[in-house]
Amino acid sequence: MYILECSDGSYYTGSTKDLDQRMEQHQSGEGANHTRKRLPVKLVYYETFSRIDEAFYREKLIQKWSRKKKIALINRQFGELKQLAECQNDSHFRNAALDSAALDSARAAGDVDNDAGFDSAQPASTVDHEHNLSSLSEVEMSEVEMRDLSNLPKIELHLHLDCSLSYQVVKQLRPEITEAEYRQSFVGPPKCTDLKDFLTRARAGIEVMQTEAALRLVTLDLFEQLQADGVIYAEIRFAPLLHTEKGLTPEAVVAAINDATAEGIARTGVQAGLILCTLRSYSEEQSMQTVHLVEQFAGTHVVGFDIAGDEAGFPIDAHIKAFQYARSRHIPCTAHAGEACGAKSVWDTLEYFQPSRIGHGVRSVEDPELMDYLKARQIHLEICPASNVQTNIYDQLKDHRLPEIYRSGISMSINTDARTITDVTLTEEYQHLHTIFHWQKEELLHCNMEAISHAFATEEVKADLRLRLLAAWQ
């Protein structure tokens, strides 16, 4: 969609496909509300969101932006708008200015009318970039700003409930435990041998999560952690069958966590969905039982299905039926792959499970054909950098190949995976990316916008999240 602001202060919008037509209407003076010939306009927003509720989004954006003037005002005449539409065709933010060379050549060709309208005489170099997202790439964020990332709203699509217990909640559940003991049993070492070793560290959390009361406390505790971290939308995952050791039924497990999620949302304002996981080590029957739970809890906070666990130790065969079933019921799916195993595992996962997202998937980078496929099919990678170092995919964060993945244009987000085992927050993940890869707000915001696009949420929720992110990050 695009939004144009006219020099009389009014706004109008349309879908990107008729931007050209709109501009021509203006040039010929046929605009519905604006009869003045060549009424000067500013392109204040230009983006192609797929499948959005455009009317809703349009209304909200205009309400917000006309009031707050938050968005960069790129002042352009019609010829330039056209170029802008053409040259900015596939990134999230198309409110970028033409580069000055393009602008100069447009001027030289006489395409730019400098004597009428809205800042039209303003040279490109002085165009107001104050709130222009694209200009963020040109601005090195100061260390102060980067240190303050905790306050910025964030989206997190990949974190495990049973791997994310704070000391405070463990102390509530096991009052005798000391902080040293907690760190010893719940937090993993900086380096595990491999994913299998890492997964053994989840045992302590699972052990204390075997009653409805404990499940509630752990869920509420995670909401508090998320709130403190600036997360405004999270998809929290867990394997219901892991919490039946003391007699809870799988249904009771999901109900307890689902109810606590409602309570957590109400208390903290953090929006959330729940993803139910089967595990690689499970039987076909257990996987079917898990996907049936997703179906049973449809319409609650349960939003999707996943497979986690020991990728290298167990093949995918036992789980094909469950993913087939999920597809037949239109259940949104993600799947862990490309973590302990390479590109072949991702190919198999894509072929047999057909998820819209991959948990991790970072080893896809080992196969250029797979990279092309992920990009072409818009498969989203939920990347968890610190976890990948801890599970020993990479020696250090500097060796992580996420910058290549980002540059390839594959949709990706940044996530913690296991806040306690890895001892990391999302804010810290962002800070590490800034320190090691010099990521700025532009990259971080882009990942957040990609996360929203691939979230298992309604278009209404997504539109709201986009607004909140854009308003805060600019």
Answer whether 276's CB lies under 8 Å from 237's CB: yes
CB of 197 to Zn ion, least distance (A): 15
Angle at 415 between CA 411 and CA 420, to 5 degrees: 165
Answer whether 84's CB lies under 8 Å from 102's CB: no
List, in sequence order, every residue forming a beta bridge with 333; answer none if it has no partner: 305
| H/E segment holding residue 107 | helix 100-108
Laid out side by side, the sheet with 271-279 consists of 154-160, 231-238, 271-279, 302-308
CB of 382 to ligand ADE, least distance (A): 10
CB of 232 to ligand ADE, least distance (A): 23
Which residue type is seen at 271? Answer: Q
- By CB under 5 A, tell whether 417 contacts Zn ion: yes
- 3-state DSSP assignment of residue 187: coil
Task: Pick the closer one to Zn ion by CB: 229 or 442.
Answer: 229
- By CB under 5 A, tell whether 221 contacts Zn ion: no
Is 311 labeled as catalytic in the residue annotation?
A: no
- Which one from 80, 156, 339, 450 is the annotated catalytic residue? 339
CB of 336 to ligand ADE, least distance (A): 4
Task: Pick the closer one to ligand ADE by CB: 72 or 379.
Answer: 379
Which one of Zn ion, ligand ADE, none is in contact with 217 (Cβ closer than 5 to 8 A by kind)?
A: none
Q: Which residue is nearest to Zn ion (CB)?
A: 417
Which one of Zn ion, ligand ADE, none is in contact with 339 (Cβ closer than 5 to 8 A by kind)?
A: ligand ADE
Q: How many angstroms separate the Cα of 185 from the Cα of each of 189, 194, 225?
A: 10, 18, 20
Q: Which residues bind ligand ADE (CB under 6 A)?
A: 160, 163, 195, 199, 202, 308-309, 336, 339, 387, 417-418
CB of 407 to Zn ion, least distance (A): 24
CA distance 451 to 234: 10
Binding to Zn ion in span 332-361, by CB under 5 A:
359
Which one of ligand ADE, Zn ion, none is in contact with 31 (Cβ closer than 5 to 8 A by kind)?
A: none
Task: Pick the closer one to ligand ADE by CB: 432 or 434.
Answer: 432
Task: Pick the closer one to ligand ADE by CB: 290 or 440.
Answer: 290
Task: Pick the closer one to ligand ADE by CB: 95 or 219.
Answer: 219
- Neighbouring residues of 294: CB distance < 8 A, sequence distance ≥ 6: 276, 302, 304, 305, 326, 331
Which one of Zn ion, ligand ADE, none is in contact with 226 (Cβ closer than 5 to 8 A by kind)?
A: none
Answer whether 161's CB lies under 8 Å from 276's CB: no
CB atoms within 10 A of CB 283: 12
- Label residue 292 exposed, middle or buried (CB < 10 Å: 0-12, 13-18, 19+): middle
By annotation, the residues acting in catalysis are 339
Which residues here bind Zn ion, judged by CB under 5 A? 359, 417
